[in-house]
């Protein structure tokens, strides 16, 4: 499935989470998806994004690692459904929004946490989501700089590129 569609699915699921366990599962799913997108960009994205994309992969992996993994059927794992990343810029814009929403959801969960373990998991996951979002914003900045450097005649391929 295409990256933007998966991100939009994650955003809807995060907004529809009914209880803390469901919300934490959706946060985990979003971080796993960010990790998969970062990995895809690190391997086959524009060269100037590869270092930041590798960093995104590591940070999003840390975001998954601080949370208890949800019990999911493998077919329900959104990150495993990633088959295409058609537009790097659009994907990163959507991913940045998702990570911002993840951070806000985690703040709410940390505030309402019934136990210290959940509180600290949320705090660690907030840090990972925030740092992941910073990487996404840096990649967007690099894409914008790349677009400015492309010749006006359009002889180059699309700056966002299909991956």
- Give the pLDDT of the chain (163 residues) as one tens digit per residue: 999 999 999 999 999 877 888 999 999 999 999 999 999 999 999 999 999 999 999 999 999 999 989 998 889 999 999 999 999 999 999 999 999 999 999 999 999 999 999 999 999 999 999 999 999 999 999 999 988 887 764 544 444 555 6
* Number of residues that make up the chain: 163
CA atoms of 110 and 67, how far apart (whole Å):
13
Is 127 in contact with 27 (CB distance < 8 Å)? no
- Cα dihedral angle (140, 106, 131, 9), rounded to 10 degrees? -30
Question: Which pLDDT score, from 0 to 100, does residue 10 have?
Answer: 96
86, 2 Cβ separation under 8 angstroms? yes
- Cα-based torsion angle of the residue sequence 126, 132, 134, 136 in order, rounded to the nearest 10 degrees: -140
């Amino acid at each position: 499935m295409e990256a933007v569609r998966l991100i939009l699915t994650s955003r809807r699921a995060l907004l529809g989470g009914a209880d803390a366990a469901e919300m934490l599962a959706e946060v985990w799913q979003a971080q796993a998806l960010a990790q998969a997108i970062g990995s895809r960009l690190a391997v086959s994205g524009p060269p100037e994004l590869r270092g930041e994309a590798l960093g995104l992969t590591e940070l999003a992996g840390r975001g998954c690692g601080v949370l208890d993994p949800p019990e999911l059927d493998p077919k329900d794992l959104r990150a495993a459904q990633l088959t295409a990343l058609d537009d790097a810029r659009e994907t990163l814009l959507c991913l940045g929004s998702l990570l911002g929403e993840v951070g806000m959801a985690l703040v709410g969960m940390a505030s309402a946490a019934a136990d210290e373990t959940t509180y600290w998991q949320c705090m660690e996951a907030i840090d990972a989501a925030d740092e992941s979002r910073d990487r996404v914003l840096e990649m967007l900045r690099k894409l914008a700089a790349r677009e400015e450097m492309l010749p006006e005649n359009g002889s180059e391929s699309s700056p966002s590129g299909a991956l």
